[in-house]
Amino acid sequence: MSLSSSAETGAAPVTIAIDGPAGSGKSSVSKQVARELGYGYLDTGAAYRALAWHALAQDADTADPGAVLAAAAEFRYAISLDPDDYWVRVGETDVTDAIREPRVSDAVSGVARVPAVRAQVTELFRALVAESGLPGVVVEGRDITTVVAPDAPARILLTAAAEVRAARRSAELTSHDAAAVAEALHRRDAADSTVVDFLTAADGVTVVDSTHLDFAQTVAAVLDVVAAGNIH
């Protein structure tokens, strides 16, 4: 497994850690927070999705940990940390859109539950942040506040009621049936929860519940948490 980032090596950046379930707004909110702060943005879920895409492209059984590890050994991954120029590549292939396909979503939990893969990918995330050359990076995913960056000066669990999350995800995927989207979201949360608890805030993690907040209000709430941590 190899990696690259879109920025040059520099001083150690600040990490803003954001966790949360599917449909909570992690990606869009994290991108906007990164813009407001002048930070980079790292979508950690994209790495697991890209690996799932790679495994499927190799006709590997994503339910077989051995097959997943074999695919990971030849996984060349790159991701942009620019919130305004977001892309994901596997080798020379741009997979930015492909990793959002339903077949990849269905396979990603099998990939993500392999402990050795999670350990490798966690180190990949830390390297991407450390080598970014940016003043800070907003890192979002499932276990960022507890595993990837447990010492981050701002750690946030972004959540919302299940029905609100399903409605938001359905609005994003306009070509998909709303009921099917809700069921897929539920399955994804159930599968991922067997690997990591992303629905309960760990000690020191601030909960931002966006159930009754619009996008701008959610971004403001996250920025308030960052400001409270005296992060510059």
Binding-site residues from annotation for ATP: 20-28
Sign of CA dihedral 226, 156, 84, 125: positive
What beta strand segments (E) does 80-133 contain? 88-90, 93-94
- Sequence-distant (≥ 6) Cβ neighbours of residue 200 within 8 angstroms: 157
Alpha carbons 60 and 66: distance in angstroms, whole number:
9
Closest by CA to 152, choosing from 199, 198, 195, 205, is 205
What is the separation of C-alpha 208 from the centre of its chain, rounded to a whole number of angstroms? Answer: 17
Alpha carbons 26 and 23: distance in angstroms, whole number:
7
Which residues carry a binding-site annotation? 20-28
| 19 sits in which H/E element | strand 14-19
